[in-house]
Structure 1
Amino acid sequence: MKISLYQKLAFSLFIIFSLICTLVLSWSQQLDHISQNQAEQKLHLNLAEHLVQDNPLLQQGVYDHQALENLFHTLMLLGPAFEFYFVDPSGEILTYSAKPGKVKRKRINLSPVLQLIEHAENMPIYGDDPRNLNKLKIFSAAPVYSHEDQDGIKNRGKLQGYLYVIIGGEIYDTVFSRIKSNDTLLITASWLFAALIFLFIILLLLFKYFTNPINKLAKEISQIQAANFDLSKVQLSQWPKYQSNEVHLLGNSLNVIVRLIHQQINLLEQNDSQRRELLTHLSHDLRTPLASLQGYLEILNHQNTKLDEQQQQEYLTITLNNCKQLKHLIDQIFELAHLESGRVSVNNEMFNLGELIYDIVAKFTLKAQKANVKLTIKPTVCDFNTLCDIAKLERVLSNLIENALRHTPENGEIIINVFAKNSKLVIQVSDTGTGIKAEEINYIFDARYRASNAVGHKKQHGGLGLAISKRLLQILNSDIKVHSEFGKGTLFEFSIRQAA
């Protein structure tokens, strides 16, 4: 059986509260008993002394023990709350009035008696109960001396013993315990039980109030788990932002964590969808040149096919171009996968940016001349030093220039512009080409996204160049921006660190 936190707290509270009430009741009864004994002992402190002084049998000394026993019997009839004993100086009980077998002790300890006679401040003082071997009671005591006449003057003689008076004797205890059990104890128990129930209910309500947020949090966690962290199926509670309430802090932290997990799940699903789409596109791009390659090779390999030398050369040229396209696409796939793996190291070094740009432009000069496109570097004297990974920066610039050549028509121009700004070197690659539609700009850096201006070039590139460039710049702690106007051209811009 599962027990909730509230039930555990309530059960623990009941046990602890019951023990505390029991201890308090026991302590209060003990204190009441001590207070009562102290009051009665103080009230009857001189009882034994007055009896010794006022009674002839004791005033003159004890000589007739039978008469003293009768006196004790008479006094007990008049005061049933008292028991009277006469003990000798060693503590042996000599005279008392009781039925045979009632008195269990033959002697008492005189130390409490002497303490009461000599130092009566620290009351209550308990002495041996002659009628019970294991019980102590409050008492009154006084010494009894023999008196001698010398020349008509009475002098105190030898110590004969002590008058030992038990306050609250056996009869008193019996009657008092019956009354107490039938009246006071019942009332006290009733009030105590009522107070216990009332306080217990109050504490249960308080526990319910304090544990409600925990129960609410537990239910919310269960709902979130059942919904697989899909926030569209679960409404998160708004927890007050109290710095002193740990449950509310936990609830707010849980909301932050759940939202983060939800975002991560959506991102993973989005990435998974993009990867599936990428694989679909790549399989298509791989299948097309492979099918063409296979077809031309089968024609060239067919024994009954009669081809002249020019046709064979043409077929071989097409086959070689398909092979190059396959290699270029596969290289891009591996390069992008390597960049996405997160295991790419950066090797920064100081070099002249102008020299690198002129070297890169030189690689594309022949291709630009064939396309009748002008390549321009601004400023012409591009003397800037930078601290960067030269290989990765060269790859980015090559991709951007190649992309610009692909989309720039004849008599167009591609400009590589460099200038310093806020301790950074800003590099811009602009063209006068076809441009990009405004609604497509946000997607051009996605792997395998092909803008509408790429129509007619599907066989010349794999569509991964801009995605690779963006990832390379992220590794270099930079970002790429694009500004384009459809039909007029495009400008790509990024910045790198300038060396002093």
Structure 2
Amino acid sequence: MNLSLYQKLALSIMVIFGIICALVYSWSKQLELTSQHHGEQNLHLQLAEHLVQDNPLIKEGVYDYKALENLFHTLMLLGPAFEFYFVDETGKILTYSAKPGKVKRSHINLDPLKQLIINPKSAPVYGDDPRNTQGKKIFSVAPVYNQKSLQGYLYVIIGGEAYDTSLNTIKNNDQLWLTALWLGAALVCLLIAMLILLRFFTNPIQRLARDVSKIEAANYSITDTKLSNYSTQKSNEVHSLGRSIQAMITRIDEQFKALEQSDKQRKELLTHLSHDLRTPLASLQGFLEVLNQSGAQLSAKEQREYLHVSLNNCDQLKQLIEQIFELAHLENGEISIHKETFNLGELIYDCIAKFSLTAEKKGLNLTVKPAICDFPVVADIAKLERVLSNLIDNAIRHTPKGGSIAVHVKHIDKAQLFVQVSDTGVGIKHDELNAIFNPHYQASNSNNEGRQQGGLGLAICKGLLKLMDSEINVQSELGKGTMFSFNLPQKIKV
């Protein structure tokens, strides 16, 4: 049988409620009966003693059992709630007033009688009911003497058979049934109120279960799934759990989308790389085929030109393949960083010298600001040289003849330096600034100067700087130039 959480809790509460009601009712009835017996026994405690003292027939010790039976009959007519018995010192019932067959016992246990005589405050004390072999009744008792010799006991049952019959008749009265009905109705209303409260408290759990089922049915996508709203009260654990689960599922959904986007980008990257590799490879193959088939018909100058172009294509292929491997190692976390302290100015001037000839041919002005930048920094010198070389190479390719390129070093604070590589080139559109660091992305106004570029340089720069706990930023204005900047620590952090 499949039951919901609310149904299980409701069923459990109903069972527990019923058991508790039964126990409380039984305990209250027992307490009521005990209190009633205590009061009645204390009220009639000296009844038997007064009868012994006031009745000459008993007081003088002359026991006419027939006369005593008539006396008992008269007393029972006056007080139907009482039954009178005379027992001897062994507990044998000698006389009483009752129809034949009504009295079931011939003897009674005298211990309760003696207990009440010795200690009247021990009430309620229960003695044997002569009319019921298993029954017990409260009683009043008094010893009967004849010249100081114990003859027996006057044993008076309080609340006898006639009293019980009358009481049972009253209990069957409509008014008592009406009272019991009202009591039952009150208990049912209380149970309904408890079930409503239980429904109120478990409803958020059911909503949460429905939300999770919806998300599971939607393959854990929350794009088209409407979720419930939960309050922000920290004291409500269920609502807090609902918010946490929604936040977790939102995070999972974001990660799924990021993975899908990453997979899409990888496919696009493979497509672009295939094209980038095919172009220089096809050019290389074409020139080599010409040299192979028509080598004797070509002049020495044409052969040198074809070989030069082929070597350039080989160099482009080599650089592109190296960039692909470097980016793959960065993404897989396979590149380690070896930090050391070195002079940043020396590294910058080394990179400037490497590109000085290219810049001179293009009529570009390469400068370092300040000219003397004797700044010790803590970084991986090889990785930083790779970053600076990529940024300067990009600046040269995108800066027209007569422009300028500057590497500027600034202080951020006592422990940080700010490195800027700026140019007066073509610039980058504002809506493309966030995309230029993606692998293989090339801005719409990029200038490759006849060379095939893989578009991986800035992605590699970003990855290398991230390994050195730095972040690259870009500012650009179309037609006026671009500036890349990143920070470097001047000393090892303690």
Say yes or no: does 1:11 pair with 2:7.
no
- In 1: Cα distance, 2:413 partner to 2:203 partner: 56
Deviations 1:326-358 (A, max 9, x none): 111111011111111234332221111111112
Residue 256 of structure 2 corresponds to 265
Structure 1 counterpart SS, 2:406: strand
Say yes or no: does 1:96 pair with 2:87.
no
Q: CA deviation at 1:62?
A: 4.5
- In 1: Cα distance, 2:450 partner to 2:306 partner: 20
Amino acid aligned to 1:85: Y
Q: 1:492 aligns with which of 484, 487, 493?
A: 484
Q: 2:333 aligns with which of 339, 342, 356?
A: 342
* Residues 299, 305 of structure 1: 8 Å contact kept: no
Q: 2:167 aligns with which of 173, 176, 180?
A: 176
Structure 1 counterpart SS, 2:474: strand
Amino acid aligned to 1:65: Y
Amino acid aligned to 1:485: E
Map 1:59-78 to 2 at 5 A: 59-78=59-78
Say yes or no: does 1:379 pair with 2:379.
no
Inter-CA distance 44–344: structure 2 relative to 1 (3 Å threshold):
same
- In 1: Cα distance, 2:221 partner to 2:86 partner: 94
Residue 81 of structure 1 corresponds to 81
Residue 439 of structure 1 corresponds to 431
Map 1:406-417 to 2 at 5 A: 406-417=397-408
Residue 277 of structure 1 corresponds to 268
Structure 2 counterpart SS, 1:483: strand
Inter-CA distance 458–61: structure 2 relative to 1 (3 Å threshold):
farther
Q: 1:450 aligns with which of 442, 445, 457?
A: 442
- In 2: Cα distance, 1:303 partner to 1:351 partner: 54
Q: CA deviation at 1:38?
A: 2.2
Q: CA deviation at 1:436?
A: 2.2
Q: CA deviation at 1:304?
A: 9.8
Q: CA deviation at 1:124?
A: 1.7
* Residues 418, 428 of structure 1: 8 Å contact kept: yes
Say yes or no: does 1:21 pair with 2:21.
yes
* Residues 483, 492 of structure 1: 8 Å contact kept: yes
* Residues 444, 450 of structure 1: 8 Å contact kept: yes
- In 1: Cα distance, 2:289 partner to 2:29 partner: 112
- In 2: Cα distance, 1:442 partner to 1:400 partner: 17
* Residues 406, 423 of structure 2: 8 Å contact kept: yes
Structure 1 counterpart SS, 2:383: helix
Deviations 1:395-430 (A, max 9, x none): 111111111121223333322222322122111112
Say yes or no: does 1:425 pair with 2:414.
no
- In 2: Cα distance, 1:270 partner to 1:256 partner: 21
Residue 322 of structure 1 corresponds to 313
- Number of residue pairs matched by the alignment: 491
Amino acid aligned to 2:53: Q
Deviations 1:120-141 (A, max 9, x none): 2232221122232322110010
- In 1: Cα distance, 2:473 partner to 2:35 partner: 93
Q: CA deviation at 1:100?
A: 5.0
Residue 478 of structure 1 corresponds to 470
- In 2: Cα distance, 1:356 partner to 1:363 partner: 11
Q: Percent identity over the alignment?
A: 60
- In 2: Cα distance, 1:287 partner to 1:192 partner: 92
* Residues 83, 169 of structure 1: 8 Å contact kept: yes
Structure 2 counterpart SS, 1:159: strand
Say yes or no: does 1:361 pair with 2:349.
no
Residue 390 of structure 2 corresponds to 399
- In 1: Cα distance, 2:62 partner to 2:25 partner: 47
Q: TM-score, normalised by structure 2?
A: 0.91
Say yes or no: does 1:238 pair with 2:216.
no
* Residues 62, 160 of structure 1: 8 Å contact kept: no
Q: CA deviation at 1:160?
A: 0.9
In the alignment, structure 1 segments of 5+ residues that lack a partner are 148-156
Residue 154 of structure 1 corresponds to none
Residue 150 of structure 1 corresponds to none
* Residues 397, 447 of structure 2: 8 Å contact kept: no
Q: TM-score, normalised by structure 1?
A: 0.90
After superposing the two structures, state which structure 1 stretch, 392-401 or 229-238, moved more: 229-238
- In 2: Cα distance, 1:75 partner to 1:420 partner: 120
Residue 41 of structure 2 corresponds to 41
Structure 2 counterpart SS, 1:141: strand
Inter-CA distance 438–72: structure 2 relative to 1 (3 Å threshold):
closer
Q: 1:370 aligns with which of 361, 366, 372?
A: 361
In the alignment, structure 2 segments of 5+ residues that lack a partner are none
Say yes or no: does 1:468 pair with 2:460.
yes
- In 1: Cα distance, 2:409 partner to 2:363 partner: 24
Residue 288 of structure 1 corresponds to 279
Inter-CA distance 94–230: structure 2 relative to 1 (3 Å threshold):
same
RMSD over aligned Cα atoms? 2.5
